[in-house]
Chains A and B, each alone.
Chain A
Amino acid sequence: MMSEPSVATLQATAPASDSGAWAGVRWALARDLKLALRSRAELGVQLLFYVIVVSLFPLASTPEKNQLALMGPGVLWVAALLASLLSLPRLFASDHADGTLEQMALSPYPLPALVSGKMIAHWLTTGLPVVILAPVLGLQYGIDGEAMTALAAALLIGTPILSLLGAIGAALTLGLRGGGSLLALLVLPLCVPVLIFGAGTVDAVHAGLGVTANLSLLGAGLLVAIVGAPLAASAAVRIALD
């Protein structure tokens, strides 16, 4: 059995006042990162899933180079979305099962801060590796320099939104029947604008329009999600704990 950073430490180190939002974010982030790094195999499997999904599309459609370059950005985005979705159920489920989540809700740290920490940890362990791997996989699709830079930038801004929105769905479906597929039904439609603007970035490059508009829209979405998603997700966590 692996030893988790105990809940007792949380209660012992938490400040008495409500001013500890940043400390709460840091605590949850460090804890979830530590847990993730102790199950590296699981992280590896998720990345492999991403790589395999991306590699399947040419096999299922065509190895023809021009067509691959056209559909490549979309494939990379959809695969990133699925990889993010795949790891979402774990975000709260194990903490919910062993009662840790309840102790978090009772702790002096604000719950949105703790949830934010978990969201950041989710992005660092699933979103960031996807962004780093994207240029390599882009080569398989013949996506060249400028387009690849734009795609990577879009993924860098867009994948945190997927983690933020996904956390809301993960919290809403805590402990429900058919949690996984229900989670997909709730989260995927909400992610569509991210997908459109993200994959559209490469089209903008090809059309000579420049990437500023798409990246700005993604950035705006990210800012809105950063403000709104932790509040919505922590409200959902409290509903699930009732």
Chain B
Amino acid sequence: MNFFRYSSPSTFYPLAGKLIPWFGWSALLLAIVGLWIGFGLAPTDFQQGEAYRIIFIHVATAWMSMFIYVVMAFWSALSLGFNTRLSGMMAQALAPTGALMTFIALWTGALWGRPTWGTYWAWDARMTSELILLFLYFGVIALRNAIDDDRRADRACGVLALVGVVNIPIIYFSVQWWNTLHQGSSVSMVAAPKMATIMLAGMLVMAIAVWFYSIMAALMRVRCIILERERGAAWTGQLTQPGTI
């Protein structure tokens, strides 16, 4: 099977339609399990009390917010490099989900900060970087909306996303650079985690749930974008006939 078969919107459209239920139901199932672990099984933190439980949503969305920007930049690079139509559409489809994840991460962070630090907002490096990330997403979305020609929008947003991706490492290393109020990462690839295994399990399950949700949302959105842009093509006309996907 040739993998590049699915790089065309007309072949990717039905594939995306088949994948959406799988990712959607898995996301729902994992979210239920993750929230059950987080709010039911995980023990109360002896320092932070019950308030810490919001991290099960906060950490998952914060990871996702940064990861989606990298994925968006990846599709942008493909779009710029190979001039493929679907890559630009994928980048366009990912931006709103990324902005949503960033917003949820900021919001839950503020709600967690109030009982724990005593303030909704602090000008800490990581929070500020996350806020900048939200602005970067808004910038990409606004630039897209300002350009009428889809192909020009793809390429312009591609350049912007690639320039903005420089910001991601700054977010990630800002904790070490400025080292202010935000606590250091509790989860690391190299060292043993500094938290109970059950909490870690809940967080990882939630992370995968958010991941699958994002894939589902992006696929649903890319299907709409494909239909919108390919409305003149013959294959979209056939979709209205019964018996097709």
A residues 161-194 touching B (CB-CB < 8 Å):
165, 168, 172-173, 176-178, 182, 185-186, 188-190, 192-193
User: Is the beta-carbon distance between A168 and B159 smaller than 8 angstroms?
Assistant: yes
Asked whether, in the complex, the Cβ of B170 is within 8 Å of the Cβ of A193, the reply is yes
Q: Mark B132-164, 1 if CB is under 8 A from A, else 0.
A: 100110110011001100011001100110111
Question: Cα distance A80–B164 when bound, in Å?
Answer: 22
Given A185-B135, A232-B159, A190 contacting B164 (CB threshold 8 A): yes
Verify if B167 is at the interface (C-beta below 8 Å from A). yes
By a CB distance below 8 angstroms, the chain B residues around A224 are 166
Contact (Cβ within 8 A) B142 A192: no
Partner of B132, one of A168, A173, A192: A192
Contact A185 B164 (CB under 8 A): no
By a CB distance below 8 angstroms, the chain A residues around B142 are 182, 185-186
Given contact pairs A168-B159, A232-B163, A188 touches B135 in the complex (Cβ within 8 A): yes
Q: Within the complex, what minimum Cβ distance (angstroms) separates B154 from chain A?
A: 9
Interchain CB contact under 8 A, A186 and B132: no
Shortest A78–chain B CB gap in Å is 14
Q: How many whole Å from B176's CB to the nearest CB in chain A?
A: 13
Asked if residues A189 and B136 are in contact (CB atoms below 8 Å), the reply is: yes
| Most central of A168, A185, A232, A235 by chain B CB within 10 Å | A185
Nearest CB on A from B90, distance (A) = 19
In the complex, residue of chain B having the shortest beta-carbon distance to the beta carbon of A171: B159
Task: Report B80 CB to chain A, min CB distance, Å.
Answer: 8
Once the chains bind, are B146 and A190 in contact (CB under 8 Å)?
Answer: no
Asked, given contacts A173-B146, A242-B152, whether A189 binds B139 with beta carbons under 8 Å apart, the answer is yes
Q: In the complex, A228 Cα to B165 Cα: how many Å?
A: 13
Q: Which of A165, A178, A192, A239 sits near B156, CB closer than 8 Å?
A: A239
Given the complex, which residues of A lie within 8 Å of B139, measured CB to CB? Answer: 185-186, 189
Query: Does A236 interact with chain B (Cβ within 8 Å)?
Result: yes
B154 (CB) vs chain A CBs: closest residue: A239
Question: Which residues B150-200 have CB closer than 8 A to chain A?
Answer: 151-152, 155-156, 159-160, 162-164, 166-167, 170
Of B143, B151, B167, B170, the residue contacting A182 (CB under 8 A) is B143
Q: Are A176 and B146 in contact (CB under 8 A)?
A: yes
Q: Report the minimal beta-carbon distance from B205 to chain A, rounded to whole angstroms.
A: 33
Flag if A235 contacts B159 (CB, 8 Å). Answer: yes
CA distance A173 to B153 in the complex (A): 11
Indicate the member of B128, B138, B139, B152 with the most A CB atoms within 10 Å.
B139
Given the known A-B contacts A189-B132, A236-B159, are A172 and B164 also in contact in the complex, defined by CB atoms under 8 Å? Answer: no
Q: Is B135 touching A189 in the complex (CB atoms < 8 A)?
A: yes
Find out whether the CB atom of B155 lies under 8 angstroms from the CB atom of A190: no
**Measured between alpha carbons, how far is A230 from B191 in the docked complex, in Å?**
41
> A228 CA to B163 CA in the complex, in Å?
9
A232 and B143 contacting across the interface, CB-CB below 8 Å: no
Q: Which residues of chain B from 88 to 116 have any CB-CB distance to chain A below 8 Å in the complex?
A: none
Distance to closest chain A CB from B215 (angstroms): 26
Chain B positions near chain A (C-beta within 8 angstroms): 80, 128, 132, 135-136, 138-139, 142-143, 146-147, 151-152, 155-156, 159-160, 162-164, 166-167, 170
Provide a sorted-by-A list of 14 A–B residue pairs whose CB atoms are within 8 angstroms: A173-B146, A185-B142, A186-B139, A186-B143, A189-B164, A189-B167, A190-B136, A190-B163, A224-B166, A236-B159, A239-B152, A239-B156, A239-B159, A242-B151
